[in-house]
Amino acid sequence: MMKTKNILEEVEKEINPFLKKLKEQDYVVGIVLLGGLGKRKFLDEFSDIDLTVFTFEKNISDFPLPFEFHYQSNGRNLEFNIHQQVLEQEEEKDSWDESKIEAYSRGKIIYDPTGRIKRLIQNKTKFNEEKAFNRLVWIIQQYRWRGQIHSIMSYKRGYPESSHNLLNQCSEILLEAVYLLNKRYLPHRKWSLVYLKEMGIPWNKLNRDFEKGMLIKNYKLSDIKSRIRVLNRIYKIVLIEIKKQYKDFPEDPYEYYYQNFVQIHKQTKIDKLLDEISKGVNNHNFIKLKGALCFNLIDTKDKFYKEMSFNSGIRRYKNVIRESIKHERKIKD
């Protein structure tokens, strides 16, 4: 998968004396190897040495290490990044952010005499299905706006650079969706495309499409549309898989999103009024009627009929309401 030489075994031998000394320190309660030293099992000449050292609150004053230091070994410059965590503080947190979850789920515990590090990581790295579902709703509705609407709109406004910027964002969120559908979170950007190759079909075949979707050749409309076509292919694959995994995924993610996360009420008073007066009304008239009710702040039947008597903008919907009443009568009959 990687294109450079794997020097993991050599580096492991060189850092073992340091790790052995760490384990002997009273202030150390746990050690986790991250990055290439973890489950990736790959280090090259460009890699640094990432590890987390856990300590207890009572030992904070004894902790001597900085985050970064360099050590020369066999002609090699080893850059150490020591991530420092206080165990009790991490245990008390409700959750970790997604990048931290991804990092530690691919980490390797090498020292855990109490077993608390293992329990901590198991608890904090559990995949949150509800959170993933809501994020996928957001991604799908945002892709439609940014990728299919605003990217073209920005070009027509004279800002092709904004079009490309929007499509760059679309590449990022579609990539995030791929990870969520594989029950994972986005890793560091330098690995997010590389790790696709670890996944099954069709995800391990998407590298080329993402590369094409990210490529900016010029600021012409033809190039913007070319990128949209490629990203739309990825979008369709993602959407098909979402609907396979989440049977209750909304048909209209945009409406679902603003009803559940933007509005004060999931169903507004005007929505309830519409349920009463618009049965059987076609979609075109429904949209116009809803707009008229909102614009005139009409949220009850009394207000509606009162406005109809003198407001020509509302009176025009008289036939629409008759259509609804006829529909109700047919159902009752």
135-155 per-position pLDDT tens digit: 999 999 999 999 999 999 999
Q: Are 157 and 166 in contact (CB under 8 A)?
A: no
- Rounded Cα gap, residues 30 and 27, in angstroms: 9
Distances (CA, A) of 53 to 29, 50, 58, 59, 183: 8, 10, 15, 12, 27
Q: What residue has token string 């549309």?
A: 225
282-320 per-position pLDDT tens digit: 888 888 889 989 999 999 988 888 887 777 777 777 766
Distances (CA, A) of 167 to 69, 184, 230: 39, 23, 11
Q: What residue has token string 């995800």?
A: 203
- Rounded Cα gap, residues 29 and 47, in angstroms: 26
Find all residues with CB under 8 Å of 188, minimum gap 6, and list them.
99, 103
Residue 51 token pair? 């590890």
> Which residues does residue 70 pair with via DSSP β-bridges, in sequence order?
79
In the β-sheet with 49-55, what is the strand arrangement from edge to edge? 68-73, 76-86, 49-55, 30-33, 108-111
Q: Amino acid identity, residue 25?
A: Q
**110 three-state secondary structure:** strand
Find all residues with CB under 8 Å of 202, minimum gap 6, and list them.
237
49-55 and 108-111 strand pairing: unpaired
- Domains of the chain: residue spans and CATH: 8-124 (3.30.460.10), 129-245 (1.20.120), 267-328 (no CATH)
- Rounded Cα gap, residues 106 and 100, in angstroms: 10
What's the whole-model pTM score?
Answer: 0.86
- List, as one string, the DSSP characters of 210-246: HHHHH----SSHHHHHHHHHHHHHHHHHHHHHHHHH-
pLDDT tens sequence for the chain (333 residues): 678 999 999 999 999 999 999 999 999 999 999 999 999 999 999 999 999 999 999 999 999 999 999 999 988 999 999 999 999 999 999 999 999 999 999 999 999 999 999 999 999 999 999 999 999 999 999 999 999 999 999 999 999 999 999 999 999 999 999 999 999 999 988 899 999 988 998 999 999 999 999 999 999 999 999 999 999 999 999 999 999 999 999 999 999 999 999 999 999 999 999 998 888 788 888 888 899 899 999 999 888 888 877 777 777 777 666 665 555 555 444
